[in-house]
Chain A
Amino acid sequence: MWKFIHKLASPPHFYGLAAKIIPWFFLPGLILIFYGLYGGLLLAPPDYQQGDAFRIIYVHVPSAYLSLMAYSIMAISAGIGLIWRLKLAHAVAAAAAPIGAWFTFLALATGSIWGRPMWGTWWEWGDPRLTSELVMLFLYFGYMALRGAIDDTAKADRASAVLALVGAVNVPIIHFSVEWWSSLHQGPTLMKKGGPAMDAAMLYPLLAMILGFTLIFGALLLRRVRTEVLYRERRTRWVRHLVLSSAVEKK
């Protein structure tokens, strides 16, 4: 088992493998998203309370879910990197941050646009769900700024890992905020007792969008980890050989 993990985590092996895997995430992800768009925008009936505005759920929920998923991956990888000194884990953490920040921005922006017609406001300071999600955006920014400020990669890995782990407290706070405090934000629709509270015609496109977004996220993450690995290994023999051997055929 350990041998297998070490082989998988060996930079040249990972670099080659990731390039092969990326399309297997990307293409099925796109197909699922197209199905989700078709089902969500054309087939699903309007909501009895929110009318057609409810359709924003098809981009808002996957984005919000991924914003949390990306942070969890970042914090867990950073923790693994700290404890077991696995360089690949630090590369994963560093790669997850910018993607997570973009999805957090999307969750906030689409939520705000949804809030305008439904709650009558773009933003509500003091609302626990909205504020804790905004705090996460700043945590991502802080993480990236800290990395950018330290030239030595190993030091940047350790310092930013501590920040990522401390900030991880925010993840359950965001998730449970709508249950712990009163919030403008509606409660959970999918992850609640008794199963999802949604009609199948609305639910399946949403599940397709969530899975599709996750696969696209996976492809983005693999692409960025691959770049991180290449950068970290830039002075090694295998990278030199890689660049020299592909100078003719280009990559």
Chain B
Amino acid sequence: MMELLSMGGYGAYVWSCFVLTAIVIAICEWRARARHRQVYRDIEVRVKALGDNG
């Protein structure tokens, strides 16, 4: 376990790369979902405001 963490002395470099990648991919997914919710909600608000006459 310690061996895996230390990565032959390169642990800080190796693990920071993997953690950073995981964070960035999570951000991509979260931003894509957030953008969709925002667009959807804006449309929902407008459609309801227009009622049946839109």
Interface size range of chain B in the complex: 20 to 34
Give chain A residues whose Cβ lies under 8 Å from the Cβ of B16: 113
Given the known interface contacts A105-B24, A230-B40, A243-B44, the answer about A224 and B4 at a Cβ–Cβ threshold of 8 Å is no
A52 x B10 contact (CB < 8 A): yes
- Which residue of B is nearest A41, CB measured? B4
Q: Determine the chain A residues whose CB is within 8 A of the CB of B42 once the complex forms.
A: 234
Partner of A60 from the list B17, B36, B44 (CB cut-off 8 Å) is B17
**Contact yes or no, B10 A51, CB < 8 A:** yes
Do B17 and A56 touch (CB < 8 A)? Answer: yes
Interface SS of chain A: helix
Instruction: Please tell me if the beta carbons of A59 and B17 are within 8 angstroms of each other in the complex.
Output: yes
Q: Does A198 contact B (CB under 8 A)?
A: no
Closest Cβ–Cβ distance, residue B51 to chain A (whole Å): 10
Q: Which B-chain residue is minimally distant from A237 (CB atoms)? A: B54
Q: Is A230's CB under 8 angstroms from B39's CB?
A: yes
Q: Decide yes or no whether A17 CB sits under 8 A from chain B.
A: no
A99 at the interface (CB under 8 A from B): yes
State which residues 4-34 of B face A: CB under 8 Å.
4, 7-11, 13-14, 16-18, 20-21, 24-25, 27-29, 31-33
**Which residue of the partner chain A has the closest CB to B19?**
A59
Considering only CB atoms, which chain B residue lies closest to A99 in the complex? B28
Q: Which residues of A contact B54 (CB under 8 A)?
A: 240
Interface size on A, residues (CB 8 A): 40
Q: Are A53 and B18 in contact (CB under 8 A)?
A: no
A33-53: CB near B (< 8 Å → 1, else 0) gives 000010001100010000111
Residue numbers in A under 8 Å from B11 (CB-CB): 52
Contact with B along A206-240 (1 / 0, CB 8 A): 00000000001000100110110011001000011
Cα distance A110–B10 in the bound complex, in angstroms: 13
Query: CA A37 – CA B4 in complex, angstroms?
Result: 12
Chain A interface residues (CB < 8 Å from chain B): 37, 41-42, 46, 51-53, 55-56, 58-60, 63, 98-99, 102-103, 105-106, 109-110, 113-114, 116-117, 216, 220, 223-224, 226-227, 230-231, 234, 239-240, 243-244, 247, 251
Instruction: Give 18 A-B contacts (CB < 8 Å), ordered by A residue.
Output: A41-B4, A46-B8, A53-B14, A98-B31, A102-B28, A110-B20, A117-B10, A220-B29, A220-B32, A227-B32, A227-B39, A230-B39, A234-B39, A234-B42, A240-B54, A243-B43, A247-B44, A251-B40
